[in-house]
Chains A and B, each alone.
Chain A
Amino acid sequence: MCFTHSFWQLTISGLSDGMLYALIALGYTLVYGVLQLINFAHSEVFMSGGFGGLFVVQALVGSKTPHGASSVMLVLLGVIVGALVGGSIAFILERVAYRPLRRRNAPKLAFLISAIGASLFLVNIAGKQFGRLAIPMPDLYTNGNVFSVFGADVQTNFVVIAIAAAIMLVFLDRLVAQTRLGQGIRAVAQDADTASLMGVNIDRVISQTFVVGGLLGGAAGFLFGLVFNVQYNMGFTPGIKAFTAAVLGGIGNIRGAVLGGLVLGVVENLGVSCVQSAWRDVIAFGILVLVLLFRPTGILGERLGRSA
């Protein structure tokens, strides 16, 4: 087969892409679960995390490339700040662009248009503030080969992304399964009216859901920017891909979002070794159509409530 030659290498880069997709996809899926809304502006939450992390590391990194403990601290700080910025933007987004529409029971498409408007606004205001060129992050560590798996080199970048993503996914899983907030999210996702009758503060749960999604998306933005540079419009394509991944795994389903992200990343990378790279997005959307044809609600199906 065409991809057997560098199968493991491609799988590793596919998993790396996939984990970033998964982190972003979770934002889409969480919001969809509680609001049945495609939060088109989530791609800008992702972008804002990238810039937030950029500011911090630019301020702290000197001229020499750090290593060892200071590398770890810097990455940690970048992820945290990226997450916080993402969460804040998501919070503001919910308050400004969606809550007023919820108050008036506006039709779903109005939410979508508001989301598109918010996305256009945020992209262009970021372009205005930060310029339109891509901005590289200072090196936080020296990227080299850490170890080999089946002949494929695993690099520091991958290890960083993998560890950060794994920690965040475990954190999310715990949050949804074991905390009050998680219960609230699951309750609202399952049946918002009944949940409010049972005393759940819908507004607060929705706001917190946005924030959680924003934390993950913002952190993903920092990690993405670390490897691929930060730019005002960096969110558009990863946003579409991540949304595709969320639907692929089953929109509204947390484990589905993660699975969808990983599957999409790996399939894309393996796929382009077989055909011209220009067909990559066709492969991605093609997989989506095929899966939906046979499993109309995604690989793991829907329902945040049932998954956790």
Chain B
Amino acid sequence: MNRKLLVHVAAPIAVGAVVLSGCGGSSSGGSSGGGKKTIALAYQGPLSGDNAQLGINMDNAVKLAVKQANDKGDLPFTLKFVDADDQGTPDGGPPAAQKLIAQSDVLAVVGPAFSGATKASEPLFSQAHLLSVSPSATNPQLTSYGFSTFYRVVPPDDAQGKEAAKYIAKTLNSKKTYSIDDKSEYGVGLSGVLEPALKGLGVSVIHDGIPPTKDYSAEAQKVVGAHVDTVYYSGYFAEFALFTKALKAAGYKGNLMGGDGDKDQQYVVQAGAKNAEGTIFSCPCADATVDPKAADFAQAYKAMFNADPGTYSPEAYDAANSVISILKQVGAGATRQKVADAYKSVDFQGITKEIKFSPNGEVAGTTIFIYQVKNGKIAVLGTTADLVKG
């Protein structure tokens, strides 16, 4: 058949197509109209795949920050927004990172969003001296791998785990807690800090891990049969919602608590307001509806995207704005190296917290807040420092 012909002809054609789409990639960027230099702020995170929603929350927030910065009109350059989809997986990380590295006008990246993709991408960012500030990668080990340009504006999970344990032991007065994680990197990391902390405070702990699924009735049975007074779920809101439904249906009457990945208004929607009522959350995030600056953000976000800001949107907004403040400081002659160096000493007041870092890339200030679902809305109760006695 014409097999050999196809090899002979199709291969060069195919490769030619690859070349044509490949060439010119590194020559994008440069100046736009008006003679002002163009600098790009990039976002890397999941924009497709199962975790797309979380990624889109952050993508939108960065877009908003860029637009507002341009609208203000006091930048010595034009700020452009670029995003790269890594699907939230370690597979997707390197190509997405390379796409951003290849664009010479990208001087900083907000992201990667997920810890797995971060681990796969950071060696490349470090090599390229490209600043990367993650709004959501909370795995505690990320700052110990020696990634020279990696920062994160969220405290690592060990802060949250320890503070949540204190709250459970001393404020909820729990004697026996059921700690469940979703066998994801985030969930295992959080429960791995929570459980030893709880045990250290004298609470007896039962552990289980259940990968994301829909039917939690068997799990609910286990919980009810264990006669615990508190359940803490380390995972994401969609699964927590279904788990809550199953727990209530099985007759569980104790405390129900989740982490920052669970805290999202969608939890209330998907579990049903009746089932969600009273659920508690720990979160290293400040309440975006209380701070007046945050209220402006929420309004602007809604106006631009016709949806409420979601989980991690405020953090991404702060990350973007802190970077923009450094870009302004360095000015139009900025390079990646200059930006990365200048960012070390950033001190920016964001809507979630003061953005300032210790040398290893951890954000200073690890206030953990406690929230509760009241009348169908997630309301802040206070910080653990305020709420935990003794």
Contacts and interface: CB of A to CB of B under 8 A. Distances in A.
Interface string B189-213: 0000000000000000000111101
Contacts, number: 79
Interface in A210-258: 224, 227-229, 231, 233-234, 237-238
A155 B213 CA distance: 21
Contacts of B272: 136, 139
B269 A136 contact: yes
Contacts of B113: none
A242 to B, nearest CB: 13
Interface in A143-161: 143, 153, 155, 157
Contacts of A233: 50
B209 A272 contact: no
A9 interface: yes
Contacts of A14: 218
A10 B242 CA distance: 18
Size bracket, chain A contacts: 35 or more
Contacts of B50: 132, 233
B371 to A, nearest CB: 20
B221 A132 contact: no
A134 B270 contact: yes
Given A157-B249, A228-B242, A6 B215 contact: no
Given A10-B221, A13-B218, A278-B183, A132 B53 contact: yes
B209 A134 contact: no
Contact of B217 (A13, A231, A280): A13
A135 B269 CA distance: 8
Contacts of B238: 133-134, 231
Nearest to A225: B214
A234 B214 contact: yes
Nearest to B272: A136
A272 B218 contact: yes
Given A229-B242, A278-B210, 12 more contacts: A6-B225, A13-B215, A13-B218, A133-B266, A136-B269, A136-B270, A136-B271, A272-B219, A277-B209, A277-B210, A277-B218, A278-B208
Interface of B: 50, 52-53, 183, 208-211, 213-215, 217-219, 221-222, 225, 238, 241-242, 245, 249, 251, 266, 269-272
Interface of A: 5-6, 9-10, 13-14, 16-17, 132-136, 139, 143, 153, 155, 157, 224, 227-229, 231, 233-234, 237-238, 268-269, 272-273, 276-278, 280-281
